[in-house]
Amino acid sequence: MSELGGVDIFGPEEDGKVSEALSEEAKERFAASAKAMKQLKRDEKRAKKKDTQVAQTIIQFLNSTSGSGGDDGTKFFVLISKLVANNCPSIFILGILSLINEECQKVVQEYFEEHEERSAHEIVDENMALVKGQELQKETNRKLIDWITCLQMILTHDPEKILDSLMLDDKHLDGSVLQLTIFVLQDFFEKKESKTLPYEKAQPLTASILQTIFDPFLKNFKKPVLGEGEKEEE
């Protein structure tokens, strides 16, 4: 998944701006936790049980952003629609949105409770420095760590289906999930933290986060070739 990495560093940090890369410590710890989480027992029936409620929560989120004015509702709707059309599990979309929406966060927490799993907040180390070259406020750092861990935990339940819906091939990520995550991060820093995250900073930071989340699961992933199953049957 090298196409998500190798981004240029845009020089010294400016006041009120956010760094664009995860720290090496963060990358190593998330990679280790992902390997551990892959060993969790999966219960496919329970994983599907909340799907209707999850979808309804996404619709509520879209309604709330549309009602807030501006083009927030439209940009989120277009990207979420593309992910849904690609059969991305609703719970993963909800996990992305949970950073900026309390109702989405609540449903994700219920999802973990039904699987008798600890929450992301109970798993991660709150003292880990997340962003390279810059210290975030403690609460901001903690929220982002919880969020990244949450997405990894969701991914452990059905990595093949999630990756198949988000990867164009074995190496290239669909731009819709990258763009949606960029908007979520920008919204988080602007509305929740009163900080600016310009697009030129948001894009490499988001790519770094997604690479950190997906890399542990890509080793055994191979994108099915269209028509491959039909050939095998013949």
DSSP letter string over 135-166?
Answer: PPPHHHHHHHHHHHHHHHHHHHHSHHHHHHHH
**Two tokens, residue 156:** 């452990």
The span from the CA of 109 to the CA of 16, in Å, is: 31
Mean pLDDT of 139-156: 88
Least confident interval from 105-119, 128-142, 156-170, 196-210: 128-142
Residue 38 pLDDT: 54
**Rg (the chain; Cα; Å):** 17
Total H helices, total E strands in the chain: 12, 0
pLDDT band at 196 (very low <50, low <70, confident <90, very high): confident
Q: Which of 93, 94, 99 is nearest to 197 (CA)?
A: 99
> 14 in helix, strand or coil?
coil
Residue 229 pLDDT: 46
The three-state (H, E, C) secondary structure of 30-85, written as one string:
HHHHHHHHCCCCCCHHHHHHCHHHHHHHHHHHHHHHHCCCCCHHHHHHHHHHHHHH
Mean pLDDT of 214-218: 89
pLDDT higher at 21 or 1: 21
Least confident interval from 90-99, 103-112, 136-145: 136-145
Cβ pair 146, 124 in contact under 8 A = yes
Least confident interval from 8-22, 29-43, 77-91, 166-180: 8-22
Q: Which burial class, exposed, middle or buried, applies to 23 when counting CB atoms under 10 A from its CB (0-12, 13-18, 19+)? A: middle
165-194: per-residue pLDDT in tens? Answer: 999 887 888 999 999 999 999 999 888 778
Share of the chain above pLDDT 90, in %: 25
Cβ pair 4, 120 in contact under 8 A = no
Mean pLDDT of 49-66: 73
Least confident interval from 33-47, 90-104, 184-198: 33-47
Q: Find how far residue 122's CA is from the centre of its chain.
A: 18
Residue 7 pLDDT: 35
Residue 185 pLDDT: 94
> 118 in helix, strand or coil?
coil
Q: What angle do CA 22, 210, 25 make, to 5 degrees?
A: 30
